[in-house]
């Protein structure tokens, strides 16, 4: 990435935001940090003195415009995205610069596609929501697995997490989503999102080694139910979560993640196992790595780099799999991510 490309990270002082700033700096990109808390931004800038600081409250359009003035792109890391997504993407559209966010909130992602597709298309401004572990990675894997297929009956995305120590932002965003859907659960079947009151249930899932056979909470629905069908013809998109990780997330006493290496990653490991089926044929794609929050940073920053260098397949609002060459994108994330794709 060019050292002259100034990228704004909104929500830079959050857990994921810090990872995104670190990844931008690692790639030599000029970085502007923004968010509502000026004191916290200044404290972060003291750790990284070469970054610029531009505070902006999400409800202050003028301040957001100043934060994005002259920038090349913006990465929104500030949840809940039900609150921040609209104002920040509107500022990006006014500035005419690419917008990327790391939202895992299903309703916020639905709103991004529904509310901003026309404006982004008219202005030919790329907008990539859910460019993160949840939503973006699964979409890339499903897209790569389908290859030349035009449609599929079902896409399964199974998350094998060794543990899940949620951040405060994850908990807050989850609560917002829970309230927005009135406590109901959601699935994508028969080509549409459906809200329901069915109880969660468990099933066995054969992950690739070293994880192996594990119990998963079936239909633990994540943002893949928005990103995948936004551009692929798939009748059902179902995501599943390792039972241990689901219990960690539900536990009120589960601690926040703690860094164990020089990158600031926790000791959490993950396997994302995707299986798509069409006409009785099944294809599989898998990804393995460490720390779901840290891996979001190279996902988002690689997206920005490709947007700024023109390595894209469309414009306007588009998911990762629609915007980029999925297989090439996934392979570019080494050594953070190890992938196995159909030949």
DSSP string spanning 274-329?
A: EEEEETTEEEEEEEEEE-HHHHHHHHHHHHHHHHHHT--S--SB--HHHHS-HHHH
Domain extent for 156: 135-292+334-340
Residue 209's pLDDT is what? 86
Mean pLDDT for all residues in the chain: 96
Q: Are residues 225 and 302 in the same domain?
A: no
Express each pLDDT in 274-318 by its tens digit. 999 999 999 999 999 999 999 999 999 999 999 999 999 999 999
Number of domains in the chain: 2
pLDDT tops 60 at residue 1:
no
Express each pLDDT in 82-111 by its tens digit. 999 999 999 999 999 999 999 999 999 999
Q: Are residues 177 and 105 in the same domain?
A: no
* Confidence category of residue 4, pLDDT binned at 50, 70, 90: low
Q: Are residues 67 and 176 in the same domain?
A: no
Q: What CATH number is given to the structural domain containing 47?
A: 3.40.50.720
Q: Are residues 93 and 237 in the same domain?
A: no
Q: Are residues 91 and 237 in the same domain?
A: no
**Which residues lie across from 236 on neighbouring strands?**
154
Let me know if residue 329 belongs to a domain.
no
Q: Are residues 127 and 201 in the same domain?
A: no
Express each pLDDT in 139-195 by its tens digit. 999 999 999 999 999 999 999 999 999 999 999 999 988 898 888 999 999 999 999
Q: Are residues 90 and 145 in the same domain?
A: no
* Confidence category of residue 233, pLDDT binned at 50, 70, 90: very high
Backbone angles phi, psi at 99, to 5 degrees: -120, 130
> What is the token pair recorded at 215?
């119990």
Q: Are residues 16 and 101 in the same domain?
A: yes
* Confidence category of residue 231, pLDDT binned at 50, 70, 90: very high
Q: Are residues 260 and 282 in the same domain?
A: yes
Q: Are residues 124 and 271 in the same domain?
A: no
Q: Are residues 143 and 230 in the same domain?
A: yes
């Amino acid at each position: 990435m060019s050292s002259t490309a100034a990228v704004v990270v909104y929500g830079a002082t959050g857990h994921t935001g810090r990872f995104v700033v670190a990844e931008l700096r690692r790639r030599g990109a000029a970085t502007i940090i923004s968010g509502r808390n000026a004191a916290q931004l200044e404290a972060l800038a003291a750790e990284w003195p070469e970054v610029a600081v531009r505070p902006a409250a999400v409800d202050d359009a003028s301040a957001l415009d100043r934060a994005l003035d002259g920038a090349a792109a913006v990465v929104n890391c500030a949840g809940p995205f039900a609150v921040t997504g609209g104002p920040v993407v509107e500022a990006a559209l006014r500035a005419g610069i690419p917008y990327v966010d790391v939202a895992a909130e299903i309703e916020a992602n639905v709103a991004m596609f529904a509310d901003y597709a026309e404006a982004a298309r008219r202005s030919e401004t790329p907008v990539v929501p859910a460019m993160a572990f949840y939503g973006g990675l699964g979409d890339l894997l499903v897209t790569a697995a389908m290859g030349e297929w035009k449609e599929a009956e079902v896409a399964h995305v199974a998350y094998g997490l060794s543990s899940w120590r949620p951040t405060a932002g994850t908990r807050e965003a989850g609560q917002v989503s829970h309230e927005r859907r009135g406590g109901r659960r959601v699935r994508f079947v028969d080509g549409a999102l459906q809200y329901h009151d069915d109880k969660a249930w468990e099933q066995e899932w054969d992950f690739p080694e070293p994880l192996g056979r594990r119990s998963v909470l079936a239909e633990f629905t994540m943002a893949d139910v928005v990103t995948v069908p936004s551009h692929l013809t798939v009748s059902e998109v179902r995501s599943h979560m390792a039972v241990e990780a689901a219990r960690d997330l539900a536990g009120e006493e589960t601690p926040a993640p703690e860094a164990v290496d020089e990158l600031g990653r926790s000791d959490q490991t993950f396997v994302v196992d995707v299986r798509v089926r069409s006409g009785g044929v099944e294809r599989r794609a898998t990804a393995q790595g460490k720390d779901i929050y840290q891996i979001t940073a190279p996902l988002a920053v690689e997206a920005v780099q490709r947007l700024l260098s023109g390595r894209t397949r469309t414009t306007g609002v588009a998911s990762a799999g629609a915007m980029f060459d999925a297989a090439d994108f996934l392979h570019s994330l080494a050594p953070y991510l190890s992938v196995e794709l159909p030949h």
